[in-house]
Amino acid sequence: MKNKTNKKTGKILTAMLALLLVASMLYMTGCSVLSHKPGSGTNTNNGSNTNSGSDTAPGTMIKDGERNIYGDGVIGERKSDGGSGISGVIDGIIGRIYGGKDKAVYDSEAIVGMPEPMPGEYYDGGVVYDPGDPYGSFNGQLKPGMLTAGEVKDAKDLGNWRSLWEDENWANIRKARGLFADNVIKVDTLPLAKVKLLDGETVVYEAVADRHGNATLVYPDSYKGKVLTVKSAEFDAYEVTCEPGAKAELTVAVDFVPATPSNLDLMLMIDTTGSMGDELEYLKVEIKNVIERVCSEQNINVRLSVNFYRDEGDDYVVKYYDFRDDIDDCVRILGEQCSDGGGDYPEAVHTALGNVLQHSWREDSVKLCFFVLDAPPHDESEIQGINSGMRKDVAAISAAGIRIIPVVSSGADLSVESLMRSFAVMTGGTYIFLTNHSGIGGDHQTPSDTQYEVEPLNDCMVRVIKEYMYAE
Protein backbone atom coordinates (compact mmCIF):
# COMPACT_ATOMS: atom_id res chain seq x y z
CA MET A 1 0.00 0.00 0.00
CA LYS A 2 2.84 2.32 0.85
CA ASN A 3 4.59 1.62 -2.47
CA LYS A 4 1.40 2.31 -4.42
CA THR A 5 0.92 5.57 -2.55
CA ASN A 6 4.51 6.60 -3.26
CA LYS A 7 4.12 5.73 -6.94
CA LYS A 8 0.87 7.70 -7.15
CA THR A 9 2.47 10.67 -5.42
CA GLY A 10 5.44 10.45 -7.75
CA LYS A 11 3.19 10.52 -10.81
CA ILE A 12 1.38 13.58 -9.48
CA LEU A 13 4.65 15.36 -8.79
CA THR A 14 5.96 14.44 -12.23
CA ALA A 15 2.80 15.80 -13.86
CA MET A 16 3.04 19.02 -11.83
CA LEU A 17 6.67 19.49 -12.78
CA ALA A 18 5.84 18.90 -16.45
CA LEU A 19 3.06 21.50 -16.31
CA LEU A 20 5.37 23.95 -14.57
CA LEU A 21 8.05 23.38 -17.21
CA VAL A 22 5.57 24.03 -20.04
CA ALA A 23 4.30 27.13 -18.25
CA SER A 24 7.86 28.38 -17.80
CA MET A 25 8.65 27.82 -21.48
CA LEU A 26 5.53 29.70 -22.54
CA TYR A 27 6.45 32.51 -20.18
CA MET A 28 10.02 32.84 -21.36
CA THR A 29 9.11 32.88 -25.07
CA GLY A 30 6.80 35.84 -24.72
CA CYS A 31 9.29 38.63 -25.41
CA SER A 32 12.51 38.52 -27.33
CA VAL A 33 13.59 41.59 -25.38
CA LEU A 34 14.31 39.45 -22.33
CA SER A 35 17.39 38.11 -24.06
CA HIS A 36 18.89 41.62 -24.03
CA LYS A 37 19.31 42.79 -20.45
CA PRO A 38 21.05 46.11 -19.94
CA GLY A 39 22.21 45.49 -16.38
CA SER A 40 22.82 42.90 -13.75
CA GLY A 41 19.39 43.37 -12.21
CA THR A 42 20.79 43.31 -8.69
CA ASN A 43 18.43 45.96 -7.41
CA THR A 44 15.37 46.43 -5.32
CA ASN A 45 12.63 48.93 -6.03
CA ASN A 46 10.66 50.78 -3.40
CA GLY A 47 8.87 53.17 -5.73
CA SER A 48 11.63 55.74 -5.57
CA ASN A 49 13.10 57.49 -8.55
CA THR A 50 16.17 55.56 -9.58
CA ASN A 51 17.88 52.28 -9.05
CA SER A 52 20.71 51.19 -11.30
CA GLY A 53 20.83 47.63 -12.57
CA SER A 54 24.48 47.94 -13.54
CA ASP A 55 27.72 49.03 -11.92
CA THR A 56 27.77 52.13 -14.11
CA ALA A 57 25.73 55.03 -12.77
CA PRO A 58 23.23 56.68 -15.13
CA GLY A 59 24.78 59.52 -17.06
CA THR A 60 28.28 58.07 -17.31
CA MET A 61 30.02 56.60 -20.31
CA ILE A 62 33.23 54.59 -20.04
CA LYS A 63 35.41 53.99 -23.07
CA ASP A 64 36.57 50.39 -23.27
CA GLY A 65 38.71 50.03 -26.37
CA GLU A 66 36.39 50.47 -29.33
CA ARG A 67 33.31 49.87 -27.17
CA ASN A 68 31.27 52.39 -25.17
CA ILE A 69 29.60 51.26 -21.97
CA TYR A 70 26.68 53.51 -21.10
CA GLY A 71 24.95 54.00 -17.80
CA ASP A 72 22.05 51.73 -18.75
CA GLY A 73 20.13 49.64 -16.26
CA VAL A 74 16.90 48.23 -14.92
CA ILE A 75 14.71 49.28 -12.02
CA GLY A 76 12.80 46.45 -10.39
CA GLU A 77 14.00 43.66 -12.66
CA ARG A 78 12.26 40.38 -11.95
CA LYS A 79 14.43 37.35 -11.30
CA SER A 80 14.80 34.63 -13.91
CA ASP A 81 12.62 32.22 -11.91
CA GLY A 82 9.58 34.22 -13.02
CA GLY A 83 9.30 36.53 -10.04
CA SER A 84 7.51 35.00 -7.07
CA GLY A 85 7.83 31.33 -8.00
CA ILE A 86 4.89 29.57 -9.63
CA SER A 87 2.61 32.59 -9.17
CA GLY A 88 5.04 34.74 -11.16
CA VAL A 89 4.93 32.30 -14.08
CA ILE A 90 1.15 32.09 -13.95
CA ASP A 91 0.81 35.89 -13.77
CA GLY A 92 3.03 36.22 -16.81
CA ILE A 93 0.98 33.72 -18.83
CA ILE A 94 -2.29 35.37 -17.80
CA GLY A 95 -0.84 38.75 -18.74
CA ARG A 96 -0.10 37.49 -22.23
CA ILE A 97 -3.50 35.85 -22.66
CA TYR A 98 -5.38 38.96 -21.63
CA GLY A 99 -3.02 41.57 -23.02
CA GLY A 100 -2.12 42.93 -19.59
CA LYS A 101 -5.72 43.64 -18.63
CA ASP A 102 -7.87 42.16 -15.91
CA LYS A 103 -10.00 39.36 -17.36
CA ALA A 104 -13.20 41.30 -16.64
CA VAL A 105 -11.86 44.28 -18.55
CA TYR A 106 -10.69 42.03 -21.35
CA ASP A 107 -14.11 40.40 -21.65
CA SER A 108 -15.97 43.71 -21.53
CA GLU A 109 -13.81 45.34 -24.21
CA ALA A 110 -13.53 42.21 -26.37
CA ILE A 111 -9.96 43.05 -27.32
CA VAL A 112 -8.83 40.17 -29.49
CA GLY A 113 -5.97 40.51 -31.98
CA MET A 114 -5.82 43.54 -34.27
CA PRO A 115 -8.68 46.07 -34.06
CA GLU A 116 -11.18 46.43 -36.86
CA PRO A 117 -10.33 49.43 -39.07
CA MET A 118 -12.60 52.44 -39.27
CA PRO A 119 -13.39 54.03 -42.65
CA GLY A 120 -11.01 56.87 -43.40
CA GLU A 121 -7.70 57.90 -44.84
CA TYR A 122 -4.28 56.66 -43.78
CA TYR A 123 -1.27 58.86 -44.32
CA ASP A 124 2.41 58.51 -45.08
CA GLY A 125 3.88 61.93 -45.72
CA GLY A 126 0.92 62.95 -47.86
CA VAL A 127 0.35 59.58 -49.52
CA VAL A 128 -3.16 58.29 -48.86
CA TYR A 129 -3.45 54.56 -48.21
CA ASP A 130 -6.29 52.39 -49.36
CA PRO A 131 -8.73 52.14 -46.39
CA GLY A 132 -9.29 48.54 -47.43
CA ASP A 133 -5.70 47.75 -46.38
CA PRO A 134 -5.07 50.24 -43.54
CA TYR A 135 -2.41 48.17 -41.84
CA GLY A 136 -0.19 47.91 -44.90
CA SER A 137 -0.09 44.12 -44.58
CA PHE A 138 0.66 43.98 -40.87
CA ASN A 139 3.40 41.35 -40.97
CA GLY A 140 6.55 43.43 -41.19
CA GLN A 141 5.12 46.02 -43.55
CA LEU A 142 3.74 48.70 -41.28
CA LYS A 143 4.22 52.18 -42.68
CA PRO A 144 4.89 55.44 -40.84
CA GLY A 145 2.10 57.96 -40.96
CA MET A 146 -0.71 55.54 -40.16
CA LEU A 147 -1.41 56.74 -36.62
CA THR A 148 -3.21 60.07 -36.34
CA ALA A 149 -2.81 62.63 -33.60
CA GLY A 150 -3.73 66.05 -32.32
CA GLU A 151 -1.91 68.62 -30.20
CA VAL A 152 -3.12 70.93 -27.45
CA LYS A 153 -0.96 73.92 -26.47
CA ASP A 154 -2.45 74.81 -23.09
CA ALA A 155 0.32 77.33 -22.35
CA LYS A 156 -0.89 79.35 -25.35
CA ASP A 157 -4.42 79.61 -23.95
CA LEU A 158 -4.08 79.79 -20.19
CA GLY A 159 -7.57 81.26 -19.78
CA ASN A 160 -9.11 78.11 -21.22
CA TRP A 161 -6.66 76.00 -19.22
CA ARG A 162 -7.78 77.53 -15.93
CA SER A 163 -11.45 77.18 -16.84
CA LEU A 164 -11.09 73.42 -17.32
CA TRP A 165 -10.44 72.99 -13.60
CA GLU A 166 -13.83 74.48 -12.77
CA ASP A 167 -15.40 71.25 -14.03
CA GLU A 168 -16.29 68.94 -11.15
CA ASN A 169 -14.42 65.95 -12.62
CA TRP A 170 -11.26 67.96 -13.17
CA ALA A 171 -11.58 69.51 -9.70
CA ASN A 172 -11.84 66.06 -8.09
CA ILE A 173 -8.68 64.91 -9.87
CA ARG A 174 -6.91 68.10 -8.80
CA LYS A 175 -7.84 67.43 -5.17
CA ALA A 176 -6.91 63.75 -5.29
CA ARG A 177 -3.51 64.41 -6.85
CA GLY A 178 -2.74 67.64 -4.99
CA LEU A 179 -2.22 69.39 -8.33
CA PHE A 180 -1.83 73.14 -8.75
CA ALA A 181 -1.07 73.27 -12.48
CA ASP A 182 -3.81 75.87 -13.00
CA ASN A 183 -1.91 78.36 -10.78
CA VAL A 184 0.14 79.62 -13.70
CA ILE A 185 2.25 82.74 -14.15
CA LYS A 186 3.10 83.46 -17.78
CA VAL A 187 6.60 84.83 -18.29
CA ASP A 188 7.77 86.74 -21.39
CA THR A 189 11.53 86.96 -21.61
CA LEU A 190 14.46 86.20 -23.88
CA PRO A 191 14.96 82.72 -25.34
CA LEU A 192 16.43 80.10 -23.01
CA ALA A 193 16.55 82.40 -19.99
CA LYS A 194 16.41 80.63 -16.63
CA VAL A 195 13.71 82.14 -14.43
CA LYS A 196 12.79 81.65 -10.78
CA LEU A 197 9.69 82.39 -8.75
CA LEU A 198 10.85 83.58 -5.32
CA ASP A 199 9.27 84.13 -1.93
CA GLY A 200 12.07 86.15 -0.41
CA GLU A 201 15.03 83.81 -0.72
CA THR A 202 12.85 80.71 -1.03
CA VAL A 203 12.59 79.24 -4.53
CA VAL A 204 8.95 78.39 -5.23
CA TYR A 205 9.44 77.20 -8.83
CA GLU A 206 11.99 77.33 -11.64
CA ALA A 207 11.75 77.10 -15.43
CA VAL A 208 13.71 77.69 -18.62
CA ALA A 209 12.19 79.77 -21.41
CA ASP A 210 11.82 78.17 -24.83
CA ARG A 211 13.32 79.46 -28.09
CA HIS A 212 10.44 81.92 -28.35
CA GLY A 213 11.07 83.40 -24.89
CA ASN A 214 8.02 81.80 -23.26
CA ALA A 215 8.08 80.23 -19.80
CA THR A 216 5.49 79.12 -17.26
CA LEU A 217 5.88 79.20 -13.49
CA VAL A 218 3.38 77.57 -11.13
CA TYR A 219 2.72 78.03 -7.44
CA PRO A 220 0.94 75.98 -4.72
CA ASP A 221 -2.45 77.11 -3.45
CA SER A 222 -0.85 78.42 -0.26
CA TYR A 223 0.63 81.31 -2.28
CA LYS A 224 -2.65 82.52 -3.77
CA GLY A 225 -2.98 86.29 -3.40
CA LYS A 226 0.61 86.78 -2.29
CA VAL A 227 3.16 88.98 -4.06
CA LEU A 228 6.16 87.01 -5.26
CA THR A 229 9.21 87.90 -7.33
CA VAL A 230 10.10 86.58 -10.78
CA LYS A 231 13.84 86.82 -11.27
CA SER A 232 16.67 85.75 -13.52
CA ALA A 233 20.39 86.39 -13.38
CA GLU A 234 20.27 88.38 -16.61
CA PHE A 235 17.17 90.49 -15.93
CA ASP A 236 15.59 92.96 -13.58
CA ALA A 237 13.31 91.40 -10.95
CA TYR A 238 9.57 91.60 -11.50
CA GLU A 239 6.98 91.52 -8.73
CA VAL A 240 3.77 89.64 -9.49
CA THR A 241 0.62 88.81 -7.54
CA CYS A 242 -0.34 85.14 -7.56
CA GLU A 243 -3.78 85.39 -9.11
CA PRO A 244 -5.51 84.26 -12.32
CA GLY A 245 -3.99 85.87 -15.41
CA ALA A 246 -0.73 86.75 -13.71
CA LYS A 247 2.06 87.75 -16.12
CA ALA A 248 5.67 88.82 -15.80
CA GLU A 249 7.85 90.58 -18.36
CA LEU A 250 11.57 90.53 -17.71
CA THR A 251 13.66 93.30 -19.26
CA VAL A 252 17.38 93.07 -19.83
CA ALA A 253 19.44 94.24 -16.87
CA VAL A 254 22.83 93.55 -18.45
CA ASP A 255 24.14 92.87 -21.92
CA PHE A 256 22.75 89.46 -22.73
CA VAL A 257 22.91 87.49 -25.95
CA PRO A 258 20.77 84.33 -25.89
CA ALA A 259 22.43 81.14 -26.95
CA THR A 260 21.54 79.41 -30.20
CA PRO A 261 21.73 75.73 -29.32
CA SER A 262 22.40 73.17 -32.00
CA ASN A 263 22.26 70.27 -29.54
CA LEU A 264 19.09 68.23 -29.08
CA ASP A 265 18.72 65.67 -26.29
CA LEU A 266 15.67 63.63 -27.25
CA MET A 267 14.25 61.14 -24.74
CA LEU A 268 11.52 58.56 -25.27
CA MET A 269 9.81 57.05 -22.21
CA ILE A 270 7.38 54.37 -23.41
CA ASP A 271 4.77 52.29 -21.58
CA THR A 272 5.22 48.67 -22.74
CA THR A 273 2.54 46.98 -20.64
CA GLY A 274 0.00 44.62 -22.23
CA SER A 275 -2.64 47.30 -22.77
CA MET A 276 -0.29 49.03 -25.23
CA GLY A 277 -0.39 45.94 -27.47
CA ASP A 278 -2.99 47.36 -29.84
CA GLU A 279 -0.69 50.24 -30.87
CA LEU A 280 2.88 49.53 -29.81
CA GLU A 281 4.04 48.06 -33.14
CA TYR A 282 2.62 51.07 -34.97
CA LEU A 283 4.23 53.44 -32.48
CA LYS A 284 7.62 51.80 -32.98
CA VAL A 285 7.38 52.42 -36.75
CA GLU A 286 6.25 56.02 -36.24
CA ILE A 287 8.99 56.78 -33.70
CA LYS A 288 11.66 55.21 -35.90
CA ASN A 289 10.55 57.52 -38.73
CA VAL A 290 10.64 60.53 -36.39
CA ILE A 291 14.17 59.65 -35.26
CA GLU A 292 15.42 59.28 -38.82
CA ARG A 293 13.86 62.55 -39.96
CA VAL A 294 15.11 64.59 -37.01
CA CYS A 295 18.62 63.15 -37.24
CA SER A 296 18.76 64.10 -40.92
CA GLU A 297 18.23 67.79 -40.09
CA GLN A 298 21.18 70.02 -40.85
CA ASN A 299 23.01 71.74 -37.99
CA ILE A 300 21.40 69.67 -35.23
CA ASN A 301 23.49 67.41 -33.06
CA VAL A 302 21.09 64.75 -31.77
CA ARG A 303 21.52 62.35 -28.87
CA LEU A 304 18.83 59.80 -28.06
CA SER A 305 17.70 58.00 -24.93
CA VAL A 306 15.06 55.26 -25.30
CA ASN A 307 13.41 53.94 -22.14
CA PHE A 308 10.56 51.60 -21.29
CA TYR A 309 8.43 50.99 -18.23
CA ARG A 310 5.76 48.64 -16.91
CA ASP A 311 4.69 48.08 -13.30
CA GLU A 312 5.67 46.43 -10.04
CA GLY A 313 5.89 42.64 -10.39
CA ASP A 314 6.50 42.71 -14.14
CA ASP A 315 9.77 41.69 -15.84
CA TYR A 316 10.98 45.22 -15.13
CA VAL A 317 9.56 48.44 -13.76
CA VAL A 318 11.81 50.74 -15.82
CA LYS A 319 14.38 49.64 -18.38
CA TYR A 320 16.52 52.67 -19.21
CA TYR A 321 19.22 53.46 -21.77
CA ASP A 322 21.24 56.62 -21.28
CA PHE A 323 21.84 59.16 -24.04
CA ARG A 324 23.99 57.99 -26.92
CA ASP A 325 25.13 59.26 -30.31
CA ASP A 326 24.64 55.83 -31.86
CA ILE A 327 21.23 56.36 -33.45
CA ASP A 328 21.19 52.89 -35.04
CA ASP A 329 21.66 51.35 -31.60
CA CYS A 330 18.63 53.24 -30.29
CA VAL A 331 16.52 52.14 -33.25
CA ARG A 332 17.62 48.54 -32.64
CA ILE A 333 16.71 48.74 -28.94
CA LEU A 334 13.33 50.23 -29.81
CA GLY A 335 12.61 47.46 -32.30
CA GLU A 336 13.28 44.75 -29.71
CA GLN A 337 10.49 45.84 -27.36
CA CYS A 338 7.12 44.17 -26.95
CA SER A 339 4.01 44.69 -24.82
CA ASP A 340 3.50 42.53 -21.76
CA GLY A 341 2.50 42.63 -18.11
CA GLY A 342 0.50 45.28 -16.35
CA GLY A 343 -2.71 43.71 -15.10
CA ASP A 344 -4.54 46.52 -13.33
CA TYR A 345 -5.13 49.91 -14.93
CA PRO A 346 -2.46 52.11 -13.23
CA GLU A 347 1.20 51.63 -14.14
CA ALA A 348 4.58 52.75 -12.74
CA VAL A 349 4.36 56.23 -14.26
CA HIS A 350 5.82 57.75 -11.09
CA THR A 351 8.96 55.61 -11.27
CA ALA A 352 9.42 56.38 -14.95
CA LEU A 353 8.96 60.08 -14.25
CA GLY A 354 11.67 60.03 -11.62
CA ASN A 355 14.03 58.21 -13.97
CA VAL A 356 13.84 61.10 -16.46
CA LEU A 357 16.15 63.06 -14.16
CA GLN A 358 18.74 60.28 -13.89
CA HIS A 359 20.26 60.71 -17.35
CA SER A 360 23.19 62.70 -18.75
CA TRP A 361 21.27 65.69 -20.15
CA ARG A 362 23.60 68.24 -21.73
CA GLU A 363 23.46 71.72 -20.24
CA ASP A 364 23.58 73.44 -23.65
CA SER A 365 20.86 71.38 -25.31
CA VAL A 366 17.17 71.60 -26.07
CA LYS A 367 15.75 68.89 -23.81
CA LEU A 368 12.59 67.05 -24.85
CA CYS A 369 10.99 63.98 -23.24
CA PHE A 370 8.19 62.26 -25.17
CA PHE A 371 6.14 60.27 -22.65
CA VAL A 372 4.15 57.57 -24.50
CA LEU A 373 1.44 56.03 -22.31
CA ASP A 374 -2.19 54.97 -21.95
CA ALA A 375 -2.67 54.66 -18.17
CA PRO A 376 -2.25 56.81 -15.04
CA PRO A 377 0.13 56.27 -12.12
CA HIS A 378 -1.10 54.55 -8.98
CA ASP A 379 -2.92 56.65 -6.41
CA GLU A 380 -2.19 57.61 -2.82
CA SER A 381 -4.11 54.66 -1.38
CA GLU A 382 -1.76 52.25 -3.16
CA ILE A 383 1.56 54.09 -2.79
CA GLN A 384 1.87 56.57 0.05
CA GLY A 385 3.52 59.83 -0.99
CA ILE A 386 3.26 59.14 -4.72
CA ASN A 387 1.61 62.48 -5.53
CA SER A 388 4.06 64.66 -3.62
CA GLY A 389 6.90 62.65 -5.16
CA MET A 390 5.63 63.31 -8.68
CA ARG A 391 5.16 67.02 -7.98
CA LYS A 392 8.74 67.19 -6.72
CA ASP A 393 10.05 65.37 -9.79
CA VAL A 394 8.09 67.59 -12.18
CA ALA A 395 9.44 70.70 -10.45
CA ALA A 396 13.01 69.37 -10.80
CA ILE A 397 12.37 68.49 -14.46
CA SER A 398 11.15 72.04 -15.11
CA ALA A 399 14.16 73.56 -13.33
CA ALA A 400 16.46 71.48 -15.55
CA GLY A 401 14.76 72.80 -18.69
CA ILE A 402 13.40 69.37 -19.67
CA ARG A 403 10.01 69.54 -21.39
CA ILE A 404 7.51 66.72 -20.96
CA ILE A 405 5.56 66.03 -24.16
CA PRO A 406 2.97 63.29 -23.60
CA VAL A 407 1.82 61.03 -26.44
CA VAL A 408 -1.40 59.62 -25.00
CA SER A 409 -2.59 56.37 -26.59
CA SER A 410 -5.86 54.40 -26.67
CA GLY A 411 -7.54 53.42 -23.43
CA ALA A 412 -6.58 56.58 -21.55
CA ASP A 413 -9.22 58.33 -19.48
CA LEU A 414 -9.69 61.81 -18.02
CA SER A 415 -7.28 61.09 -15.17
CA VAL A 416 -4.50 60.46 -17.71
CA GLU A 417 -5.45 63.49 -19.78
CA SER A 418 -5.60 65.95 -16.87
CA LEU A 419 -2.38 64.72 -15.29
CA MET A 420 -0.33 64.66 -18.48
CA ARG A 421 -1.64 68.03 -19.66
CA SER A 422 -0.63 69.34 -16.22
CA PHE A 423 2.88 67.93 -16.53
CA ALA A 424 3.19 69.51 -19.97
CA VAL A 425 2.14 72.95 -18.69
CA MET A 426 4.37 72.68 -15.61
CA THR A 427 7.47 71.91 -17.71
CA GLY A 428 6.85 74.11 -20.74
CA GLY A 429 5.87 71.15 -22.89
CA THR A 430 2.86 70.45 -25.07
CA TYR A 431 0.18 67.73 -25.13
CA ILE A 432 -0.04 65.19 -27.98
CA PHE A 433 -2.72 62.50 -28.16
CA LEU A 434 -3.70 59.80 -30.64
CA THR A 435 -7.12 60.05 -32.29
CA ASN A 436 -9.68 57.62 -33.68
CA HIS A 437 -9.20 58.89 -37.24
CA SER A 438 -6.67 56.18 -38.04
CA GLY A 439 -8.97 53.34 -37.02
CA ILE A 440 -6.04 51.75 -35.21
CA GLY A 441 -6.24 50.63 -31.59
CA GLY A 442 -9.03 51.08 -29.10
CA ASP A 443 -11.01 54.22 -28.35
CA HIS A 444 -9.00 57.39 -27.69
CA GLN A 445 -9.67 60.08 -25.10
CA THR A 446 -10.81 63.28 -26.81
CA PRO A 447 -9.40 66.34 -24.99
CA SER A 448 -11.85 68.33 -22.92
CA ASP A 449 -13.18 71.66 -24.24
CA THR A 450 -10.43 72.08 -26.81
CA GLN A 451 -10.12 72.61 -30.56
CA TYR A 452 -7.38 70.77 -32.39
CA GLU A 453 -6.26 69.70 -35.84
CA VAL A 454 -5.67 66.09 -36.83
CA GLU A 455 -2.41 65.11 -38.53
CA PRO A 456 -0.21 62.02 -38.87
CA LEU A 457 1.55 61.32 -35.57
CA ASN A 458 5.04 61.24 -37.10
CA ASP A 459 4.51 64.64 -38.76
CA CYS A 460 3.14 66.03 -35.49
CA MET A 461 6.15 64.89 -33.46
CA VAL A 462 8.68 66.17 -36.01
CA ARG A 463 6.89 69.53 -36.21
CA VAL A 464 6.86 69.91 -32.42
CA ILE A 465 10.57 69.08 -32.18
CA LYS A 466 11.40 71.69 -34.83
CA GLU A 467 9.31 74.31 -33.02
CA TYR A 468 11.40 73.79 -29.90
CA MET A 469 14.67 73.81 -31.87
CA TYR A 470 14.08 76.81 -34.10
CA ALA A 471 12.93 80.31 -33.15
CA GLU A 472 11.19 80.81 -36.49
154-158, 231-235, 333-337, range with the lowest pLDDT: 231-235
Looking at the structure, give the CATH architecture of the domain made up of residues 61-77+113-152+260-469: 3-Layer(aba) Sandwich (3.40)
36-40, 152-156, 175-179, range with the lowest pLDDT: 36-40
pLDDT > 70 in the chain, percent: 69
CA dist., res. 53 & res. 236, Å (int) = 46
Query: What is residue 470's predicted lDDT score, i.e. its pLDDT?
Result: 85
Question: Each residue of 58-81: pLDDT tens digit?
Answer: 444 333 333 355 789 999 977 544
Per-residue pLDDT averaged across 145-161, rounded? 95
CA dist., res. 324 & res. 314, Å (int) = 27
Q: Is the pLDDT of residue 405 over 50?
A: yes
Are 423 and 405 within 8 A, CB to CB? no
Are 247 and 188 within 8 A, CB to CB? yes
Question: Each residue of 354-397: pLDDT tens digit?
Answer: 999 999 999 989 999 999 999 999 999 999 999 999 999 999 99
Write the burial class of residue 43 (CB in 10 Å: 0-12 exposed, 13-18 middle, 19+ buried): middle
Q: Is the pLDDT of residue 181 over 80?
A: yes
CA dist., res. 201 & res. 204, Å (int) = 9
In Å, what is the CA distance from 466 to each residue of 149, 211, 293, 366? 17, 10, 11, 10
Task: Report residue 389 CA to chain centroid gap.
Answer: 16
Strand runs (DSSP E) across 168-300, as ranges? 184-188, 194-199, 202-208, 214-218, 227-232, 235-241, 247-249, 263-271
Task: Report residue 217 CA to chain centroid gap.
Answer: 22
Q: Is the pLDDT of residue 419 over 50?
A: yes
Please list, in sequence order, all residues whose beta carbon lies within 8 angstroms of the beta carbon of residue 463, skipping any fewer than 6 positions away: 455
Query: What is the pTM (predicted TM-score) of this model?
Result: 0.77
Which of residues 11 and 354 earns the better pLDDT score? 354
Question: Each residue of 80-137: pLDDT tens digit?
Answer: 443 333 433 343 333 333 333 333 333 333 222 333 333 333 333 333 334 344 333 3
Q: Could you tell me the residue ranges of all domains in the chain?
A: 61-77+113-152+260-469
Query: What is residue 18's predicted lDDT score, i.e. its pLDDT?
Result: 56
Query: What is residue 28's predicted lDDT score, i.e. its pLDDT?
Result: 45
Local structure of 67: helix, strand or coil: strand
Question: Each residue of 229-273: pLDDT tens digit?
Answer: 999 887 888 999 999 999 999 876 556 565 666 899 999 999 999
